Structure formats: C-alpha cells, structure tokens
C-alpha cells in the first residue's frame, strides 16, 4: 500500500493492481511492477478507459463510466487482499459478463 500511496502522491495511477504485479525482493521488500496500463494525470481528473484484469476491476470501470484512477486502484487492492486472505476472488463468474454483473451488484460472501 505504501508503493501505491507513493504512486498516487505523484499522480500515477497503476490501473492493473493484481497479485501477479506484486513481488518481494531479496530483503522481503514489496515491489509493485508492470506499469503498462498506468497513467500520469491529476488524481481528480476522470478517465473513461476500460482496462485492467477483470476480477480486479472496480464497478465504475466495468460500467464504462468516468472514474478517478486512485479509487479504482484501491478497489483492486481490496480484491487482492480478499484473495490473499481467502484463497479465492470475491466475485466470480462463468463469463466476463456474469463476473461484471456481480462486481456491479457489490455483494459477496466470505468463505467458511
């Protein structure tokens, strides 16, 4: 989260926060990688670009509405934390359309 906070303080939105883009170095320091979808725009400026990894997408991205980048990164970080703690994603679907409907509904269950 400190890496993401630093990026946001420099007006950089990552836009592809996911487990595969978080690494540990030899000192066990967390490294955030793959800035291929990132933008460098003011944090309060809204964008309307559909990108990211489906299971981690925020509802506003799925709905293809304008969104501010940092909150979408925070949403993806929460999905990542959920997956780390539970071993599965909070929203799952047999198709992307089903997955997107569940993300937009925003309801999920905690595994037993």
Taken in order of first residue, the domains within the chain and their CATH numbers are 2-105 (1.10.510.10)
Cβ of 75: how many Cβ atoms within 10 Å?
A: 20
Instruction: Give the integer Cα–Cα distance in Å for 63 and 101.
Output: 9
Residues 6+ apart with CB under 8 A from 26: none
Active site residue 16: yes
Residue 72's pLDDT is 95
Among residues 16, 44, 73, 96, the one annotated as catalytic is: 16
Kind plus residue range of the DSSP H or E element containing 88: none
Query: What mean pLDDT value characterizes the chain?
Result: 94
pLDDT in tens, 24-72: 999 999 899 999 999 999 988 998 888 889 999 999 999 999 999 999 9
pTM of the model: 0.91
Range with the lowest mean pLDDT among 4-8, 11-15, 43-47?
43-47
């Amino acid at each position: 989260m400190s890496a993401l906070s630093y990026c946001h303080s420099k007006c950089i939105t990552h836009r592809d926060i996911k487990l595969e883009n978080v690494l540990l170095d030899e000192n066990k320091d967390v490294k955030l990688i793959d800035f291929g979808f990132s933008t460098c725009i003011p944090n309060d400026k809204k964008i309307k670009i559909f990108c990211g990894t489906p299971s981690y997408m925020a509802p506003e991205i799925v709905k293809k509405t304008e969104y501010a980048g940092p909150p979408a990164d925070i949403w993806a970080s929460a999905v990542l934390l959920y997956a780390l703690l539970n071993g599965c994603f909070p929203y799952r679907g047999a198709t992307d359309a089903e997955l997107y409907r569940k993300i937009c509904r925003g309801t999920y269950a905690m595994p037993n």
